[in-house]
Structure 1
Amino acid sequence: MTLLGIDMTVIHISLDLFVEKSKKWSDTLIAAG
């Protein structure tokens, strides 16, 4: 695996986590609203 490949994997995982958190926040706000 190249260094670039590792970077892309880390970015991909970070984006997935960010999306998951965003969804939870949206659900929480909708439930509260």
Structure 2
Amino acid sequence: MQRRRERLEKEAEIKRVREELLKQAKHRDSLL
């Protein structure tokens, strides 16, 4: 149970980082 929650938290973290990177990439595109 504990391990599963850790994995879910890790996946959520990865998802958050990916969305942040996408946001930055879109911002960069709008600057070009």
- Aligned-pair RMSD on alpha carbons? 1.2
Q: How many residues align?
A: 28
Structure 2: runs of 5+ lacking an equivalent: none
Gap regions ≥5 residues in structure 1: 29-33
Q: CA deviation at 1:27?
A: 1.1
Task: Tell me which stretches of 4 or more aligned residues in structure 1 moved more than 2 Å.
Answer: none
- Show the counterpart of 1:25: 29
Identical-pair percentage: 11
TM-score between the two structures when normalised by the length of structure 1 = 0.75
Which residue identity is paired with 1:25? D
TM-score (norm 2): 0.76
